[in-house]
Amino acid sequence: MKFVRNAFEPVCSQSEPAAAQTGDLPEWNLADLYAGPDDPALKDDVSRAAGLAETFQARWAGTLAEAAQKTGDEGLGAAIEGFEAIEELMGRIMSYAGLYYYADTADAARGKLYGDLAGKITEASSHLLFFPLEINRIDETDMAEAMKRDPRLAQYRPWVEDLRKERPYQLEDRIEQLFLEKSQTAAGAWNRLYDETLTHMRFHSGVGEALPLEPALNLLMDGDAQVRADAAAGLTGGFQSHIRTFTLITNTLAKDLEISQRWRGFGDIADGRHLANRVEKDVVDALEEAVVAAYPRLSHRYYTMKAKWLGMEKLNHWDRNAPLPTTQQETIGWNQARQTVLDAYGGFDPRMANIANDFFEKNWIDAPSREGKASGAFSHPTVPSAHPYVLLNYQGRPRDVMVLAHELGHGVHQVLAGKQGALMADTPLTLAETASVFGEMLTFRSLLERMDDPAQRKAMLAGKVEDMINTVVRQIAFYRFERKVHTARREGELTSEEIGQFWLDVQAESLGPAVQLNEGYDVWWAYVKHFIASPFYVYAYAFGDCLVNSLYAVYQNASDGFADRYFDMLAAGGTKHHSDLLAPFGLDASDPAFWSKGLSMIEGLIDELEEADQES
């Protein structure tokens, strides 16, 4: 199952004073999945999943080509229905295990539960592994005829067609089974080591006790330059103290991915991700080229302006997200944040606000920061028979309101797509960011329209530009960093210094001459979890942001019916290719002008900032 994480600058934990000002923050109620780790229903479902998987294998293995010639309960459509039901059950189990674990990754008992359940579900899944592999061995003509013959099969056409795109890369059954079973001791184990190492790290900030990662990162947004500098020094020291571990993890996972990709016959190092995202390599290449070409017009230009606003010749790397001198510092309470987002959503369409309101009313959100809680933010879809859950680390800053809007956008998307069922609700990563970034844009525009004070308007515009730079420019730089690391790893193991130099190279290129990359910044790649958990995930954020910028431009000039088309797009889940989803809006991601249109919106906001600067 997939946890949709926010890859903006990390969401940060609360200090005690901020917690008092935010008001009571909600914690999620996982009882809609299971009442607790000792719930008999959880134990029963684990046993039931194992039994159903074994029975399914005994019933269908070796018969699917024959089933494709039949209809009804003997047909391939019926087999897929049975497969989907087991996937739904296993998804419920692992959704609970993951959410329970991420609420406190420092708790050994939660870690053990997560590991034990992952092992049992992986074992059960081994009995289902034959199913997609055998479907892909059915002749194309026979499959086409089966689709015409069996209406129960035809409803799964999008899933089958997506599955068959993987045909050239699937291996012999026993090798696939080996890959599946060893995933617990390969990528999964290294990911867990990374998570638990980062969770237990503490960083000296120069004041008070050493801090976990999130509060330490939070200090980089403090209005005091010395506080930011001290926090950066503490972060650098912390990363350096564990850099050998992080380097080993990175080397191991890069090699693990290379082995898998080589055995499967992928060419480019990111081809597996492109296939999973159902996006063509040339589309991603066009996005990358467009963003890199725009570096001078976007990040280079903006950071030059920001250095001047802060009275500096150059920004230190720890000053990138510093507040402007005119930025209001008061804490935004939870109730105000909730109303802000719901008002923005409702202004677009009441249906959107109604769905989002369920997350507040039904305890589907875990907002406070706690010792051991997973960093950042995510919305996890769980399974269609339940509902999504949102994790935040809310601290009352304006950016936290944007993160709330972002994750609720994911949540709305996941609720609407749930009707497609367990096999077809999941949206490729490139489209998974559509609703989240659109929700952010609605909230930002709503707040901006109500802002009368020129200084505060400037600060809000600057904050939005920084978020967009972090989402587009920074994520493409991350993607280029990953490409360097994975390409070089094919030639041999990398040292910490080599990885650090790759990091400095892409950061210098993307941030521009107005940002000073100070000593020690070469280890700051170590805390970006996406490099470890989801190689090449990051370009999806730039894809989604540029897509939404283009989509929002259509919305601003649209006639009636935009909202209905938008909801249809979200409700499609994973049943349509990006070209089919964008066609009703007159957009085409394969057209280079598409990316230019999305980037021009960021450039337009920087123009607006420059005009405001000249007027002041």
Those residues with Cβ within 8 angstroms of residue 157's Cβ, 6 or more apart along the chain or in another chain? 147
Q: Are 19 and 391 in contact (CB under 8 A)?
A: no
3-state helix, strand, coil in the chain (%, to 5): 70, 5, 30
Question: Going from the N-terminus, what domains does the chain have, and what CATH number goes with each?
Answer: 33-165 (1.20.140.70)
Is residue 221 within 8 A of residue 397, CB to CB? The reply is yes
pLDDT band of residue 329 (cuts 50, 70, 90) is low
Q: Give pLDDT tens digits for 109-134.
A: 999 999 999 999 999 999 999 999 99
Which single residue is written with the structure tokens 């159902």?
278
Of the listed ranges 13-17, 218-222, 354-358, 534-538, the least confidently predicted one is 13-17
For residues 226, 228, 233 and 239, what is the CA-based torsion angle, rounded to 10 degrees? 170
What pLDDT is stored for residue 176 in this prediction?
85
Distance (Å) of CA 530 to CA 97, 481, 552: 20, 12, 27
Instruction: Encode pLDDT of 281-328 as tens digits.
Output: 999 999 999 999 999 999 999 999 999 999 999 999 999 999 988 776
380 in Cβ contact with 388 (< 8 Å) = yes
Q: What's the rounded Cα separation, in Å, for the pair 125 and 119?
A: 10
CA distances 357 to 353, 408, 438, Å, are 6, 9, 17
Q: Which amino acid is at 199?
A: T
Say what percent of the chain tops pLDDT 70: 96
For CA atoms 87, 90, 96, 99, the dihedral sign is negative
Task: Identify the pLDDT of residue 487.
Answer: 97
Res. 616 pLDDT band, cuts 50 70 90: low
DSSP assignment of 167-210 equals GGG---HHHHHHHHHHTTTTHHHHHHHHHHHHHH--B--SSSS-
Q: What is the mean pLDDT of residues 425-432?
A: 86
- Looking at the chain, the number of H-run helices and the number of E-run strands are 30, 6
* Residues 237-267 as b or e (16 or more Cβ within 10 Å = b): ebbeebbeebbebbbbbbebbbebbeebebe
- Mean pLDDT, residues 550-559 taken together: 85
Confidence bin at 2 (pLDDT 50/70/90): very low
Residues 22 and 333: beta-carbon distance below 8 Å: yes
Which helix (H) or strand (E) element contains residue 552? helix 539-556
- Render 576-591 in DSSP notation, one character per residue: S-HHHHHGGGT--TTS
Q: Which of 51-60, 393-402, 490-499 has the lowest mean pLDDT?
A: 393-402
**Segment 179-192, tens digit of pLDDT:** 888 887 888 899 99
Question: What are the strands of the beta sheet with 389-391, ordered from one edge?
Answer: 4-5, 378-380, 389-391, 365-366
Binned at pLDDT 50, 70 and 90, residue 238 comes out as: very high
Bridge partners of residue 109, in order along the sequence: none
Burial state string for 533-545 with b = 16 or more CB within 10 A and e = fewer than 16? bbbbbbbbbbbbb
Residue 237, pLDDT > 50, answer yes
Q: Is the pLDDT of residue 496 over 60?
A: yes
pLDDT at 597: 86
pLDDT at site 358: 98
Say yes or no to pLDDT of 603 above 60.
yes
What's the token pair of residue 444? 């930002």
